[in-house]
Amino acid sequence: MLRKLEFVLRRLLTSIFVLVGVSIITFFLARVVPSDPAELYIGPKARAADIARVRKQLGLDRPLPIQYLYYMRDLLRGDLGTSIGTKQPVLQEIMNRSTASLELLFTGMFLAALIGVPLGVLSARWQGKFLDVVVRTISILGVSMPAFYLGLMFQLVFFRNLHWLPVAGQISTSLRFTHPIRPITNFLLVDALLTGNWIAFKDVCLHLILPALTLAAYPIGLIARMTRGAMLEVLEQDYIRTARAYGIKDGVVTYLYALKNAISPTLTVIGLTVAFALTGTFFVEVIYAWPGLGSFTVKSLLNIDYPAIMGITLFGASAYVIINLVVDILQAWIDPRISLK
Amino acid sequence: MTALLEVRDLYLEFKTSRGKLKALNGITFTVQPGEIFGLVGETGCGKTVTGLSILRLLPRSAALVGGQVLFEGTNLLDLSRSQIESLRGSKIAMIFQDPSTSLNPVFSIGSQIERVIRQHMHVGRRQAHEKACSVLAAVGLPDVERTLGSYPHQLSGGMQQRVMIAMALSCSPHLLIADEPTTSLDVTIQAQILKLLRELQKKFAVSVILITHNLGVIAQTCDRLAVLYGGRVAETGSSRDIFNQPQHPYTRGLMNAIPRPGGRGARMATIPGTVPSNPGAMTGCAFAPRCGSAMPRCSLETPPLFTIGENHSSACFLAERK
Amino acid sequence: MAAIPVLAVEPEIQSTRTFRHVLNVIVRDPLALASTIVILVFILMAIFAYQAAPYPLEGAGKTNVANSLLAPNAAHPLGADRLGRDVLSRVIMGTRPALVVPIGVVLFAVLIGAPLGAIAGYKGGWIDEVIMRITDLFLAFPSLLLAMAIATALGRGLHNAAIALVVSWWPWYTRLVRGVTISLRERYFVEAAQATGVRDSVIILRHILPNTISPILVQATVDLGTVILAMGGLAFLGLGTQPPAADWGLMVSEGRDFILKQWWISTFPGLTIFIVVLAFNLLGDTLRDIFDPRQYK
């Protein structure tokens, strides 16, 4: 137990160092790379006097290390700058929109793991048989498909042709008036559940399906392949032979003895796909008009809303570091060998 | 005495990218109840796959194409999948060469042993736990509770092998197949494990098939043995007979090759040539190309096992006369 | 004392798979063969874009408003976009940036990342630590996010997007090569070279790097597919090729508003991206099976 805590502490420390490094790189991109950061911060319609003021404000006339200190001071105070587009503090914009994106991200990754891992396991179990071929085909199609394209195709097929699912948005606009959801956590699904608002719940679900599946396509492909690979490798190990030598039933051997060993590299892959999914939300949200962080990012990119873009980059990278930390700790809990390195 | 295990004329082939590899070409031997039987030979002679064949633990590329494996009268090769699975670990148990890779790294020792016990003995958790404790104590492991809660990588090589032996004996099998149980251990630990095997064999009244390439190990532990070459039995008999009066030229060569103290300065004896890679594809005796006493007949006909004395046989035409 | 010859020890190159062998395997595997053919077709299309496109000027961006939003027909098999430009020509003209730039990106990523990885793995110690920390830092960013930020900081455009992707991609090759180098470092031929006094830089260059070629090749083939996807994504977001030039990702974005009625504007360029990436992924898989069937990562 003590060893595991030590591991957690060490990983935490590493993460903090990485976060500092991330801030340095973002600072570099934000202040050092552009030819005139002040101009970018104020927007294209600024006057010379305003530019000079912002330049002073950002401390651009000071030496770099001092600039960085100001930057860090602002960061730790939660000041990520002000969005040119909305005139609101960037951090606030991020927080407002995070819940919608998180809902999409969680659902997408949940689907990806739910579908991807079993597909990979079954594919390894029935290696060479038809199921294996099917899964491998699905995997490679999934990792080759551009997310934005898939989204558009889904809209075409499921909305226009089949009329099964709504085309965009998080919830039908009419429902905002007839069955509004009382905000508790700001997660629509959760709130609808908590307040017993079944009609809204069903509606949000329908709206969530296509975006989540679009987001999950690439992760499903990747997770299925990697799980299959990890399982195949594990199934060749001596300890599996031992288990069979003692007559342990095939189901137990595959789904318990082998899987628990294969789950560790699988978790690593899931962690990596979260990175993809994070950036995937940009495309998915734009296409499905999802009011989340992704569509805000794309809007900021189109408008060259510099403070917003840099703030989002920092936020996104930090979130990713934290997610990886969680995944690593999960792995250490499952595989007793890891924490003892 | 009815034999516990009778292997008759076992043939095994592997499907490889380069064609069929005939690994076993008519293996025949018997194991009596309550004895330690050695299967000895160089790498590639087929001793390990023989062990695996008894429990039908072979990979998909392998096919048993002939012969019988009679265990307590039943031909194991005729049994269904679930029938052989119920035998594994309960009537026949196997331990492997490298204990560090043979135990599942993400489950505790206790959970692995107890699962085996619960599956074959159909008892509850507490009883399985108690049984596991008692069998771990029987193999000489200190601090039984702690060991049960540990993970494989937390134990030393010798302790891991003891755990494997414990697991093997947990359901009181009639036959224990030990595939090179001491090869990957230190010499001092080797001696301990062999001593343990001898003691446990008497205590649990189990027969042991000891697979090894080390003649010294055979000499210390085995009552009877079979010398394998090229997928066939070259000579079989009691330890005393084979060590004192080896009949087969291959066995003789092996005995000569053992370095003896006091022989300093003299050249070490070796058997010229190398082990054939696909012995089944050869006509005649597989050892003939390397044999100093080879006759023309040896390359044309495969010699069967000729009985020399009581329980002593040699697959060599030289033995035919006797 | 005479100068010690540069290659005092013969480098042991592990390439047991010759080019001939690779060709043999590809020809026998229908999927791999199809992928290679597809890739070759697209390469040819990139080279002969102007000749292949039925309306090359429209492909380059000249508008033809009379044909605006034309459905697919005989003269325009893939239809026309909002500005009346022939979609087929635009797709063909878009092949050049779609293939050439990712090849360049992967090439530069390898050229930067591989030597760093070899040095880190070979020297060990503080050099290794420093390089690994830097690599970890860049890998801490989700790759497209970093590319986006860099592309924005540098300004919009195809070349800046390419630079952004190179900066995001090189760490993967550093990691890969470092791993291979560490496993090679302990091998006898390296020890032999060191014992005969061959300089470190020569050892890395002549002994170690050639052995990294096959894992790099496998990774690069698959990465080409991923980079094409990433470039397409960046273009879709407006960070890549700028209008009026033709680019598959850009075309999908331009056609987005019309997806429900004039579906061909987005569908065909998107489909093209999918097919090309699929071909590279399949080929990469086959290469991986040839060079190291155990590597599932």
Complex prediction ipTM: 0.86
Q: Name chain B contacts of A4, Cβ cutoff 8 Å.
A: none
pLDDT at A31 over 80: no
> CA dihedral in degrees (C128, C132, C134, C135; nearest 10)?
140
Tell me the pLDDT band of B206, cut-offs 50, 70 and 90.
very high
Average pLDDT in the C22-28 region? Answer: 80
Tell me the pLDDT band of A338, cut-offs 50, 70 and 90.
low
Question: Which residue in the set B55, B119, B153 is minimally distant from A245, CB to CB?
Answer: B55
Question: Which residue in the set B106, B119, B167 is minimally distant from A334, CB to CB?
Answer: B106
CA distance B238 to B233: 14
Average pLDDT in the B72-96 region? Answer: 91
pLDDT at A65 over 90: no
Tell me the pLDDT band of B288, cut-offs 50, 70 and 90.
confident
pLDDT value of position C105 = 94
Residue C295: DSSP 8-state: -
Q: State pLDDT tens for residues C207-216.
A: 777 778 888 8
Residues in contact with B5: Cβ distance below 8 Å, sequence separation at least 6, in sequence order: B30, B31, B54, B69, B70, B71, B175, B207, B209
| The residue to which tokens 């999409």 are assigned | A104
Q: Work out the number of other CB atoms within 10 angstroms of the CB of residue C18.
A: 9
CA distance A302 to C238: 7
| The residue to which tokens 């993809």 are assigned | A276
Average pLDDT in the C31-50 region? Answer: 89
Beta partners for residue B312, in sequence order: B309
Q: Name chain A contacts of C297, Cβ cutoff 8 Å.
A: 226, 229, 265
Question: Which residue in the set B102, B116, B119 is minimally distant from A238, CB to CB?
Answer: B102
3-state secondary structure of B187: helix
Q: Which domain holds residue C255?
A: 18-62+77-296
Question: Which residue in the set C140, C273, C281 is minimally distant from A317, CB to CB?
Answer: C140
Average pLDDT in the C18-47 region? Answer: 85
pLDDT at C228 over 90: yes
How many structural domains comprise chain C?
A: 1
pLDDT value of position C1 = 41
Tell me if chain B has a CB within 8 Å of the CB of A242.
Answer: yes
Tell me the pLDDT band of B102, cut-offs 50, 70 and 90.
very high
Tell me the pLDDT band of A24, cut-offs 50, 70 and 90.
confident
Of C142 and A231, the structure prediction assigns the larger pLDDT to A231
Q: State pLDDT tens for residues B17-67.
A: 778 888 898 899 999 999 999 999 888 788 889 999 999 998 888 888 889
Tell me the pLDDT band of B224, cut-offs 50, 70 and 90.
very high
Which chains neighbour C (Cβ–Cβ under 8 Å, 3 or more pairs)?
A: A
What is chain A's length?
Answer: 341
pLDDT value of position C10 = 53
> What order do you get walking across the sheet with B74-75 strand by strand?
B19-31, B5-16, B62-71, B74-75
pLDDT value of position A224 = 93
Tell me if chain A has a CB within 8 Å of the CB of C239.
Answer: yes
pLDDT at C293 over 60: no
Average pLDDT in the C131-138 region? Answer: 88
pLDDT at C2 over 70: no
Phi and psi at B236, nearest 5°, equal: -145, 145
Interface of B with A (CB under 8 A): 55, 57, 84-90, 93-94, 96, 98, 101-107, 115-116, 119-120, 151, 153, 164, 167
Test B104 with A337 for CB contact under 8 angstroms: no
| C242 in any annotated domain | yes
| C217 in any annotated domain | yes
pLDDT value of position B227 = 92
Mutation to test the A interface, candidates C229, C242, C294, most A Cβ within 10 Å: C229
- Range with the largest mean pLDDT of A3-12, A73-82, C270-279: C270-279
Euclidean distance between the first and the last CA atom of chain B, given in angstroms as a whole number: 26
Cβ pairs bridging A and C (under 8 Å): 140
pLDDT value of position A257 = 92
pLDDT at A341 over 50: no
Test B105 with A336 for CB contact under 8 angstroms: yes
Q: Determine if the pTM surpasses 0.90.
A: no
Q: What is the DSSP pairing of strand B232-238 with strand B312-314? A: antiparallel
Give the torsion sign (CA, A315, A321, A324, A329). Answer: negative
Tell me if chain C has a CB within 8 Å of the CB of A230.
Answer: yes
Tell me the pLDDT band of A157, cut-offs 50, 70 and 90.
confident
The nearest alpha carbon in chain A to B96 belongs to A242
Range scoring the smallest mean pLDDT among A114-123, B40-49, B84-93: B40-49
CA distance A202 to A192: 9
pLDDT value of position C6 = 46
Test A335 with B153 for CB contact under 8 angstroms: no
Average pLDDT in the B134-141 region? Answer: 91
Q: How high is the mean pLDDT of chain B? A: 88
pLDDT value of position C4 = 46
Test A241 with B151 for CB contact under 8 angstroms: no
pLDDT value of position C294 = 52
Distance of CA C223 to CAs C46, C102, C173, C216, C217, Å? 19, 9, 10, 10, 10
pLDDT value of position C5 = 45
Average pLDDT in the C78-91 region? Answer: 85
Q: What is the largest CA-CA distance in chain B?
A: 66
Please identify among residues 120-149 of chain A the ones whose CB lies closer than 8 Å to any CB of chain C: 140-141, 143-149
Euclidean distance between the first and the last CA atom of chain C, given in angstroms as a whole number: 49
Test C278 with A149 for CB contact under 8 angstroms: no
| CA-derived radius of gyration, chain A | 24
Of A136 and A167, the structure prediction assigns the larger pLDDT to A136
> Chains A, B in contact: 3+ Cβ pairs under 8 A?
yes
Tell me the pLDDT band of C277, cut-offs 50, 70 and 90.
very high
Tell me if chain C has a CB within 8 Å of the CB of A322.
Answer: no
Tell me the pLDDT band of A315, cut-offs 50, 70 and 90.
confident
| C27 in any annotated domain | yes
> Chains C, A in contact: 3+ Cβ pairs under 8 A?
yes
Phi and psi at B66, nearest 5°, equal: -175, 155
Range scoring the smallest mean pLDDT among A56-60, B71-75, C57-61, C265-269: A56-60
CATH number of the domain within which C173 lies: 1.10.3720.10
- Range with the largest mean pLDDT of A213-227, A259-273, C86-100, C214-228: A213-227
| C2 in any annotated domain | no
Q: State pLDDT tens for residues C139-166.
A: 888 878 888 888 888 888 888 899 999 9
* Nearest residue to A84 via CA among A116, A119, A37: A37
What is chain C's length?
Answer: 297
Query: What burial letters (b/e) apply to B176-206, b meaning 16+ CB within 10 Å?
Result: bbbbbbbebbeeebbebbbebbeebbeebeb
Tell me if chain C has a CB within 8 Å of the CB of A321.
Answer: yes
CATH 1.10.3720.10 fits A97-304, yes or no: yes
Q: State pLDDT tens for residues C53-75.
A: 888 877 777 777 777 887 888 77
Identity of residue A305: D
Q: State pLDDT tens for residues B232-280.
A: 898 999 999 888 888 888 888 888 887 777 767 777 777 878 888 787 7
pLDDT value of position A43 = 67
pLDDT at B104 over 70: yes
Q: How high is the mean pLDDT of chain A? A: 84
Q: How high is the mean pLDDT of chain C? A: 82
pLDDT at B175 over 80: yes
pLDDT value of position C72 = 81
